[in-house]
Amino acid sequence: MNKKQNRPRPMGLNIGSASIIMLFAVLCLTVLAALSLLSANSQYALSERSAEVTRAYYAAEVKAAEIYDVVKNGDLTKVSPVELDGETLYSYSVDIDKFQAIAVLLAIKGGEAELRSWKIIEAGNWEPDDFFDLWTGDVSGDSAGGFFLS
């Protein structure tokens, strides 16, 4: 009898190279699917924010146009006079959001409203973020510069 034929086979998990390649491919596809899902979700959030900003802009544009029509009909109660270069102009603004507004500048000549300026301006006050504790260049104190010197 041949000794090789009678020897019992060891019990265990025999993973071949094809199985290892298959596991690697499934892992790669899973990671790519997760990244695609995250990318699609961020693109969706960006498009929703863009649509919201566009809706707010056009709503403010409609309000500004309504005020312009009222002024063209002779009602100056919604505008405030401004002296500019010896000329009396009338201005008003309509908020788009807490950061931007539409500013309109009109001149009234002979009972007719003439549009001088219609633009988006910054509204609100910008406040710097003091979150970061940056190194000031002082190496003598207990600032972050002392970390690098030992």
SS (H, E, C) 52-113: HHHHHHHHHHHHHHHHHHHHHCCCCCCCEEEEECCEEEEEEEEECCCCEEEEEEEEEECCEE
**Would residue 41 count as lying in a domain?**
yes
**Would residue 53 count as lying in a domain?**
yes
Could you list the residue range(s) of the whole structural domain that residue 66 is in?
19-122
**Would residue 104 count as lying in a domain?**
yes
Structure pTM? 0.62
Please, what is the average pLDDT of the chain? 85
Determine how many CB atoms are found less than 10 A away from the CB of residue 53: 13
**Would residue 91 count as lying in a domain?**
yes
Q: Give tens-digit pLDDT for 14-56.
A: 668 888 899 999 999 999 999 999 999 999 999 999 999 999 9
**Would residue 72 count as lying in a domain?**
yes
**Would residue 92 count as lying in a domain?**
yes
| DSSP label at residue 37 | H
Provide the number of structural domains found in the chain.
1
Query: Is 150 a residue whose pLDDT tops 50?
Result: no
**Would residue 134 count as lying in a domain?**
no
**Would residue 71 count as lying in a domain?**
yes
Tokens of 48: 């929703």
Tokens of 49: 């924010």
